[in-house]
Amino acid sequence: MSLPRFPFDNSYARLPEVFFRRCEPKSASTPGLICFNHALADSLGIDVKHSDEASLAEVFSGNQLPEGADSLAMAYCGHQFGNLVPLLGDGRAILLGEVVDAYGKRRDIQLKGAGKTPFSRPGSDGLAPLGPVLREYLVSEAMYALGIPTTRALAAVTTGEQVVREYPQPGAVITRVAASHIRVGTFQYLALQDDRDQLQRLADYVIARHFPNAMFEDNPYLELLRCVSERQASLVAQWMSIGFIHGVMNTDNMTVSGETLDYGPCAFMDAYHPETVFSSIDVQGRYSFENQPYVARWNLARLAETLLPLIDEDQDVAIEKAKAVLEDFMPRYDAFWLDAMRAKLGLENPEEDDATLLEALLQSLADHRVDFTLFFRYLYRVAEDPGDDAEVAALFRDANDWHQWSQRWQQRLQRESVPAVDRGERMRAVNPAVIPRNHRVEEAIRAAEDKGDFEPFHRLLAMVTDPYREPGEHPEYMQPPAANEQVVRTFCGT
């Protein structure tokens, strides 16, 4: 048996050394493969034909570097909960290199939890406990299946060693695949070096890699800001449309590619409430559900600050130009959000009053603590047959509110041109039946941690990666937690 073969082409490693530090993963005593994403590996051109589980575990634990890897830790800084931390960098992640996928897209391949790097904080171990690895695997692959831009999970392995957090836990490594791991914080880091040439080098690299059309604009760096802003407006609108709470939207956790990055304390809301927060460290609710678009805009303002010297030599001119882009963020976000929410309600022809209809609905969902996912999922039945609304009505504490809103919605539907049968089908294709609900994720983690039983993990993974299908054989996977199953706090696991 031989190690998997990667068609590496490592462009980041060819950048100047200020961007990263070379380092190697630590060895694991007895690596064991939990999960390998064959479909993703295929699309990345990774050849595993002659690799058994043991050789996959060797590479994806970091025990052996595959041929052509040029492993390094990326440098970045970031605002964490609003405070600038001038040096963060990959403290527990090691980039193996890049491959160009079947669609011609360059992808980073990174190990997370494979030991210390030159950026690890003193006293930290660079490791990852099993729980957060399983959580990231489940949630990132669910997001992908939901059509939301995200980093992917290629492999998960156990290391055979213990990681000490509040209590000793099994250690694990996740292999993450990303359009790139360049963050707002990467720009902040280069800007702090006070070396305009290197900053421009990063900007040019990002333009070439992610936004090649920007090269042809009069002001490519302003266009870069506009492109990142557009991607983030779209991304956060998509999060909001499925009840996803990232939980730790620090500038070092926001990509410039527009992919969701860093699945730490993230969670999906069960009962709808705009102020929902799960993360144990987010005591002020800075990253609550409803704050996400505002935080994204705040982060983009930090990106804009770093780009000012590239946008115009005259700082006042640069500020004016950047401000115009930032002012466009909310209207763009609102437009993306409205589009996504209209689709959830089966509306295709935009009307002026749609936002009001949606606001009334969300108010009612919050008042009655209605399960966000189930409500939208069951709605297709009502769209097909207005009489078939018992399941939806039962989600409300007082069905009168539902009936009132439903009448407005039914009238609105009458002005649509799509036939009712098609409408139901289209609604089923945008309103998932299964999301990685917190209590199911916890259940999968508990079984793996306590008993080494990965069956619940694999079962949940199969369900959340086929999210629009109602799991007839396991209907309970659609349901919100019972009172005694609720998970109200999530943790970073760092």
* Residues in contact with ligand AMP by the rule CB under 6 A: 88-92, 120-121, 124-127, 252-253, 262, 264, 492, 494
CA distances (Å), 408 to each of 146, 164, 250, 270, in order?
Answer: 29, 55, 40, 25
Q: Which residue is nearest to ligand AMP (CB)?
A: 91
Binder among 136, 141, 262, 443 for Mg ion (CB under 5 A): 262
Binder among 55, 188, 253, 291 for Mg ion (CB under 5 A): 253
Count residues binding Mg ion (CB under 5 A).
2
DSSP string, 444-476: HHHHHHHH---HHHHHHHHHHTSTTS--TT-GG
The rounded distance, in Å, linking the Cα atoms of 415 and 351 is: 10
The rounded distance, in Å, linking the Cα atoms of 178 and 170 is: 25
Comparing C-alpha atoms, which of 258, 239, 248, 304 is closest to residue 82?
Answer: 248
Asked if residue 36 lies in contact with residue 141, where contact means CB atoms within 8 angstroms, the answer is no
Shortest separation between residue 177's beta carbon and ligand AMP, angstroms: 17
Nearer Cβ to Mg ion, position 58 or 90?
90
Q: Which does 124 bind (CB under 5 to 8 A by kind): Mg ion, ligand AMP, none?
A: ligand AMP
Shortest separation between residue 135's beta carbon and ligand AMP, angstroms: 12
* Triad 268, 397, 420: Cα angle to 5°: 70
Nearer Cβ to ligand AMP, position 162 or 411?
162
Q: Which does 89 bind (CB under 5 to 8 A by kind): ligand AMP, Mg ion, none?
A: ligand AMP
Q: Which residue is nearest to Mg ion (CB)?
A: 262
Question: In the Cβ-directed half-sphere of 371, how many Cα atoms lie within 13 Å?
Answer: 24
Shortest separation between residue 374's beta carbon and Mg ion, angstroms: 31
Question: In the Cβ-directed half-sphere of 78, how many Cα atoms lie within 13 Å?
Answer: 22
Q: Which does 21 bind (CB under 5 to 8 A by kind): Mg ion, ligand AMP, none?
A: none
Shortest separation between residue 493's beta carbon and ligand AMP, angstroms: 8
DSSP string, 351-416: -TTHHHHHHHHHHHHHHTT-BHHHHHHHHHHHHH-TT--HHHHTTSSSHHHHHHHHHHHHHHHHT-
Query: Strand, coil or helix: what is 199?
Result: helix
Nearer Cβ to Mg ion, position 152 or 321?
152
Nearer Cβ to ligand AMP, position 89 or 436?
89
Nearer Cβ to Mg ion, position 181 or 423?
181
Shortest separation between residue 461's beta carbon and Mg ion, angstroms: 23
* From 158-166, 246-254, 280-288, 333-341, span contacting Mg ion (CB under 5 A): 246-254
Nearer Cβ to ligand AMP, position 71 or 241?
71
Nearer Cβ to Mg ion, position 58 or 252?
252
Asked if 450 is an active-site residue, the reply is no
Nearer Cβ to ligand AMP, position 127 or 271?
127
Q: Which does 110 bind (CB under 5 to 8 A by kind): Mg ion, ligand AMP, none?
A: none
Q: Which does 159 bind (CB under 5 to 8 A by kind): Mg ion, ligand AMP, none?
A: none
The rounded distance, in Å, linking the Cα atoms of 59 and 280 is: 33
CA distances (Å), 213 to each of 208, 216, 259, in order?
Answer: 8, 6, 19
Q: Which does 443 bind (CB under 5 to 8 A by kind): ligand AMP, Mg ion, none?
A: none
Asked if residue 252 lies in contact with residue 80, where contact means CB atoms within 8 angstroms, the answer is yes
Shortest separation between residue 492's beta carbon and ligand AMP, angstroms: 5
* From 122-130, 220-228, 252-260, 411-419, span contacting Mg ion (CB under 5 A): 252-260
The rounded distance, in Å, linking the Cα atoms of 357 and 201 is: 47
**Phi (first) and psi of residue 124, to 5 degrees:** -90, 160
Q: Which does 264 bind (CB under 5 to 8 A by kind): Mg ion, ligand AMP, none?
A: ligand AMP
251 binds Mg ion (CB under 5 A): no
Comparing C-alpha atoms, which of 308, 95, 327 is closest to residue 188?
Answer: 308
Q: Which residue has the tokens 């992640």?
A: 93
Shortest separation between residue 197's beta carbon and ligand AMP, angstroms: 25
The catalytically annotated residue of 90, 108, 252, 389 is 252
The rounded distance, in Å, linking the Cα atoms of 285 and 322 is: 28
Shortest separation between residue 483's beta carbon and ligand AMP, angstroms: 31
Residues with active-site annotation: 252
Q: Which residues in this chain contact Mg ion in the complex, by CB under 5 A?
A: 253, 262
